[in-house]
Amino acid sequence: MMDATMNKKVEDALKLLRQARATHGDALVYPCSFGAEGSVMIDLICRPGLGVPVLTLDTGRLPQPTYDVIEAVEKRYDIRIQIVMPDSEEVASMVREHGVNLFRKSVDLRKRCCEIRKVHPLMQALKDKEAWITGRRHEQSKGRANLAQIESDPVYGLKKYNPLLDWTWDDLWTYIREHDVPYNRLHDVHYHSIGCECCTRSITVGEDERAGRWWWENDDVAAECGLHVISLKEVSGEIADGEGI
């Protein structure tokens, strides 16, 4: 059973979602990566009166359990997730030049892979939108400790809403179990932050929640994909520093 504190977190999240929906209408979208945060968020936004469209980025390298939970969510809530894919010519050109596993060769090439498979498709998907929802939480990393519930995005020019900021990992699972929410089965084998199959691993006790992403990079490198950026090198969207989904 959820206690009073947990119930308040749910109500606060719903309040922010209702505010976002009332303000932006159909120009609001939720890009979901189908981790635990995504499972909770979809359950919240599928409540009566919200109806926020959900999209996901299919990079072409997602793990099978992610596809499985997409199918389970569509069946449970009778919705269709918008599947957004990268430009096939961009991907083909990148692979021809750098190889299929370029992300292991250098940080710059890893970011290039993320840019083509994630950032460019998301930019296209958000072109006619005013605002988007994220599942980011303060607890996830040091870089997310000072996020606000509502932000102005410096790249996409949109408002960004973060309804789960104060939720803990335990809060997510209390909600998932209480409401029997479909979730990504990779969580059962100690995956926390879930991305591409090749760039995601399970974590051990005491590791940062995002330690399973791009773990081969140096500790002093900001291991993020660029979907949530902090600053820009150019207006074109070249990422200087980023906060991944």
Residue 217 belongs to a domain = no
Question: Is residue 138 within 8 Å of 166, Cβ to Cβ?
Answer: yes
Question: Is residue 30 within 8 Å of 52, Cβ to Cβ?
Answer: yes
Distances (CA, A) of 84 to 33, 41, 89, 123, 231: 12, 19, 15, 11, 24
Q: Measured at the alpha carbon of residue 62, what is the angle toward residues 162 and 221, in degrees to the nearest 5?
A: 60
Three-class SS state of 217: coil
Residue 95 belongs to a domain = yes
Nearest to residue 65, comparing CAs of 210, 189, 194, 186? 186
Taking 50 as the pLDDT cut, the residues of the chain under it are 220-224, 226, 228-245
Strands 159-161 and 228-232: unpaired
pTM of the model: 0.85
Q: Which structural domain range is residue 42 located in?
A: 4-188
Residue 38 belongs to a domain = yes
**Whole-number pLDDT of residue 227:** 53
The average confidence (pLDDT) of the chain is: 87
Residue 214 belongs to a domain = no
What is the Cα–Cα distance from 239 to 226, expressed in whole angstroms?
Answer: 6
Residue 109 belongs to a domain = yes
Under DSSP, the state recorded for 91 is H
CATH number at residue 39: 3.40.50.620
Question: Is residue 202 within 8 Å of 190, Cβ to Cβ?
Answer: yes
Residue 108 belongs to a domain = yes
Known catalytic membership, residue 225: yes
Query: 32, 113, 114, 225: which one is catalytic?
Result: 225
**Whole-number pLDDT of residue 234:** 34
**Whole-number pLDDT of residue 229:** 47
Residue 237 belongs to a domain = no
How many structural domains comprise the chain?
1
**Whole-number pLDDT of residue 219:** 53
Residue 242 belongs to a domain = no
